[in-house]
Structure 1
């Protein structure tokens, strides 16, 4: 009888990957930097990466749970996505880029990068696809950030937080979160994500807050001076400059503050029997909600929009995946409209009939302030929280998000390093006004 030979064990696979990855680095080091490579040299680099990535993918597919278990001391350590990738690089050489390699990448424009975040995407795809490990990672991303915990005592005392991108004020039991990147129309970058997650954490941790409000501040941008704007989506200039990363923005945003708005904070205290802290959220859209601004609306409980505003997800123009919108938009608006918006770039105006599928109230611009206060009062009730929790459980089970995030981790890493995306965002970033 012929013995059946299964996949190599984790330790054997780790040693083999370390050897192949080291060879890949030697081959890359012999080539010019990515931006200066000839077509033949780019093909040579791609072949070197492909050899290591094939082996990396096999190792993660076969041993994701064991890899994650070792890194997290059998699921007792809660590591966020960036911390997990860094720990994986130390524990399993070649499995993920090292901090030093990422520092080199971070200093380069997007067009000059080696694309090492793709290796992070391979690792995170495998971890999130594994049920136990993926759930644990999602829980880690829903824990309050150290920054929020550090700021909490002062916020509890004053009820005010002002950061570069966000102003948060507690008033009458409402967390009034105002996005205030007035010079760039609240275009999102890693600073914005950090400030938004901090503000959401504080709103969820403060027992005096019952409801959250998210709105854009008046802008100083010449085209919209004095007008409130919700969000212009991802900051394409920062993406082109290399400042939008997989773990610091693209995944942190979806699995961090957006997931916290949807499900609240994760609480792992022993003996905890009560549901986690979560609160209802209202969004008020003035002028427009583009890209990530539109995506944010999909996790809110009530959305007001000014009658002269519009919504769009310009993924087709930008060449990237619009976060978790591909999972959520079809559920709320239907698959045909979701394809028109995501694949075709269709813009939805507040007065279009289809807007009724995406927002709750269309309001005359001059009446937005009063409408916001009325809607906040309607969300302020104990049964609201219990029912939103059950609605989320029915509409988006946590494993649906986990499986989606597994695919998204690699797909988005591939897209932001694709030539067509680099060319597109470079053109968008070069525009003025």
Structure 2
């Protein structure tokens, strides 16, 4: 059984699934290597414009690091050169990634969700960084990405207490894009992905490339980045197609080139 699967049943959208439901989709070395390979597959396929990351089973998105492997001294196997933890949290990615969370996203699982661009969660889902309850640090991005995603004081509380944040409250705080009925996170994420894929894919990627750096640079630097992104878009076929489709009163036919 593959511990990570990649399917492309929806046009231009890949679904990447962590497939260890009996282990609450915890990350071991095999998952890390397979997820690293899945990211490369998605990012290198010009026909894929967006990706959804989810966990199998409907109970857990991911419980994070497999503590059985950690206790055996195999923690290094949970990291890859390009992606770091789970082969994902630091992996270079240009395309849109949406986390579809059904159930709980804990510790490294929460960090996987935080590393995505957007999150769709079922109403029964919860998010938590409980590392401090085990004498650990949420060092795979959790301790700073959560602070960027929700109000500072509340982020500090979650980090310091390890308490769980229910999906409806997470949505109120801006951590989650959409809350859907239990069991429908994947369907909700695919719906969002399809709306994104109705737009020019290169323009989306270039826009998000700048947006992801919004908290890292000043206005002048970001303004220049936006201009540079526009210059890269201007040489594409899609740059000409958008205005032409508007003039001809028809839906644009994006090529992604």
The TM tier, using the shorter chain, reads 0.7 to 0.9
Alignment of 1:148-163 (within 5 A): none
Computed over aligned residues only, the root mean square deviation of the Cα atoms, in angstroms, reads: 2.1
Q: State the Cα deviation string for residues 348-369 of structure 1 (Å, max 9, x = none).
A: 0113267532111111115435
CA distance 1:170–1:287, shift in 2 (3 Å) = same
Q: Does 1:348 align with 2:177?
A: no
Q: Does 1:249 align with 2:78?
A: yes
Q: What is the match of residue 120 of structure 2? A: 304
Q: What is the match of residue 165 of structure 1? A: 3
SS where residue 121 of structure 2 aligns? strand
Q: Partners in 2 of 1:371 and 1:251 — Cα distance?
A: 30
Structure 2: gaps spanning 5 or more residues: 218-257
Q: Partners in 2 of 1:335 and 1:369 — Cα distance?
A: 29
CA distance 1:319–1:375, shift in 2 (3 Å) = same
CA contact (8 A) 1:230 1:288 kept: yes
Q: What is the match of residue 201 of structure 1? A: 40
Q: What is the match of residue 159 of structure 1? A: none
Alignment of 1:281-360 (within 5 A): 281-322=97-138, 323-352=140-169, 356-360=173-177
CA contact (8 A) 2:63 2:104 kept: yes
Q: Partners in 1 of 2:183 and 2:17 — Cα distance?
A: 18
Q: What is the match of residue 179 of structure 2? A: 362
Query: How far is 1:327 from its partner?
Result: 2.1
Residue correspondences, number: 210
CA contact (8 A) 1:254 1:324 kept: no
Q: Partners in 2 of 1:250 and 1:355 — Cα distance?
A: 33
Q: State the Cα deviation string for residues 337-394 of structure 1 (Å, max 9, x = none).
A: 2211111112101132675321111111154354233211122132221111001222
Q: State the Cα deviation string for residues 381-425 of structure 1 (Å, max 9, x = none).
A: 32221111001222346xxxxxxxxxxxxxxxxxxxxxxxxxxxx
Q: State the Cα deviation string for residues 55-103 of structure 1 (Å, max 9, x = none).
A: xxxxxxxxxxxxxxxxxxxxxxxxxxxxxxxxxxxxxxxxxxxxxxxxx
Q: Does 1:384 align with 2:213?
A: no
Q: Partners in 1 of 2:6 and 2:130 — Cα distance?
A: 29
Q: Partners in 1 of 2:150 and 2:6 — Cα distance?
A: 31
Structure 2 length-normalised TM: 0.75
CA distance 1:169–1:353, shift in 2 (3 Å) = closer
Q: What is the match of residue 13 of structure 2? A: 174
Q: What is the match of residue 29 of structure 2? A: 190
CA distance 1:336–1:348, shift in 2 (3 Å) = same
Q: Partners in 1 of 2:186 and 2:64 — Cα distance?
A: 23
Q: Answer 1 or 2: which has greater helix percent.
A: 1
SS where residue 311 of structure 1 aligns? strand
Q: Answer 1 or 2: which has greater strand percent.
A: 2
Q: Partners in 1 of 2:211 and 2:192 — Cα distance?
A: 19
Q: What is the match of residue 215 of structure 2? A: 395
SS where residue 116 of structure 2 aligns? coil
Q: Partners in 2 of 1:393 and 1:282 — Cα distance?
A: 18
SS where residue 258 of structure 1 aligns? coil
**Larger Rg, first or second structure (1 or 2):** 1
Structure 1: gaps spanning 5 or more residues: 1-162, 219-226, 265-277, 398-433
Q: State the Cα deviation string for residues 254-307 of structure 1 (Å, max 9, x = none).
A: 3753222xx42xxxxxxxxxxxxx210111100111111111122212211110
SS where residue 23 of structure 2 aligns? coil
CA contact (8 A) 1:315 1:343 kept: no
CA contact (8 A) 1:306 1:365 kept: yes
Q: Partners in 2 of 1:166 and 1:353 — Cα distance?
A: 27
